[in-house]
Structure 1
């Protein structure tokens, strides 16, 4: 396990979580991984990248969930246990890739249960970003060039998918304050204010870790 700083960002749809992650990474001089993680996981696992796109942050059934837990408890990896359903392979490939990234470099990772995968890493900072509904709808309208009704539909369906995925593969609850180090309402302080707040929290946690080693 490395001493690299990893900031894991969970986010509601329309909350500007990806933009915040990118700005934060740029200010810290590190990389931000969102969709880029899918390409890395595909390359490392030898699976087709299109499969990762298709199954991105989508839950599977309870049988596959039990397989995931059983496989990790027995120490198998994607490369060592190939006779499993495709959804299982994809989840394990992302899980392994997140851990490898954390061992290799400091970075920001958006979504994909990164906080759960790295729960035992001392320099993990887990953040959840939300925003007021009107702000989220406005952001989605601008991003996708749609009307209010379509923007709300995108928001609701995406959050449902992310919540189901996170709750399924972790032992925590998506969006629950107890699951994160820091929860921020972006509507209260804006994108730049949110980036600044996370940076201040990171500094405080690193200082705390040094004093308690």
Structure 2
């Protein structure tokens, strides 16, 4: 089973993912761990834009030369599939909902929440000033939106691209994890 979690900044998606990984006894992969895995397997240098969310100049150049989004992103999907293989895991971000969509054991989640509550979460848990937290939430969400659109052609956070979209701030992280566990039990039974 692969659980993919895309999330608005400050919604607690990583925290929920860690709870799910612990519950199922499976690894959790995020940007840093996937970049490390890609380096170990010698594929990082072929697509650093994907692993580290670097600017999209290479993509734009390829499009200007007539390549399609599908041609550009096929190697990315193949690299992620090679890295993950058939193991059970939680994937945070990295367009996991798109890349692993055709696996019957994939459950894709999008966590979101009230913007003010997400800013407050960043201030409390990361000790940011209000201005810093606002900037981080705004820029992280914008970068994730652009990154997802760039690599998939899809709108990040749009419900039709996920199995569940959950207000993890309103529900709370533990309740969100429990809801996902119940959902998984129902659909993958």
Question: Is the TM-score greater than 0.5?
Answer: yes
How many residue pairs match? The answer is 182
Match of 2:176 in 1: 194
Aligned partners of 1:14 and 1:198: how far apart in 2? 19
Aligned position for 1:120: 102
Moved more, 62-71 or 189-198: 62-71
**In the alignment, which residue of structure 1 is the partner of 2:37?**
40
Give 1:109's aligned residue: 91
Aligned residue number for residue 206 of structure 1? 188
State how far apart, in whole Å, the 1-side matches of 2:133 and 2:125 are. 9
Q: Where does 1:162-181 land on structure 2 (aligned, <5 Å)?
A: 162-181=144-163
SS at match of 1:128: strand
Match of 2:141 in 1: 159
**DSSP-derived class of the 2:110 partner:** strand
- Structure 1 alignment gaps of length 5 or more: 78-91, 208-213
Task: Identify if the C-alpha distance between structure 1 residues 127 and 147 changes in structure 2 by more than 3 Å, giving closer, same or farther.
Answer: same
Q: Tell me, in whole angstroms, the C-alpha distance in 2 between the residues paired with 1:194 and 1:128.
A: 11
The Cα of 1:64 is off from its aligned counterpart by 3.7
TM norm structure 1: 0.77
**What are structure 2's unaligned runs of at least 5 residues?**
none
**Equivalent residue runs for 1:32-111 within 5 Å:** 32-34=28-30, 35-45=32-42, 47=44, 52=48, 56-58=52-54, 60-61=56-57, 62-64=60-62, 66=67, 69-71=70-72, 77=75, 92=76, 95-111=77-93
Q: 1:47 to 1:189 in 2, by over 3 A?
A: closer
1:107-156 CA-partner distances (Å, limit 9, x unpaired): 00000101111121111101000011122112211343221111011100
The answer (yes or no) to whether the contact 1:58–1:165 under 8 Å persists in 2 is no
Match of 1:23 in 2: 19
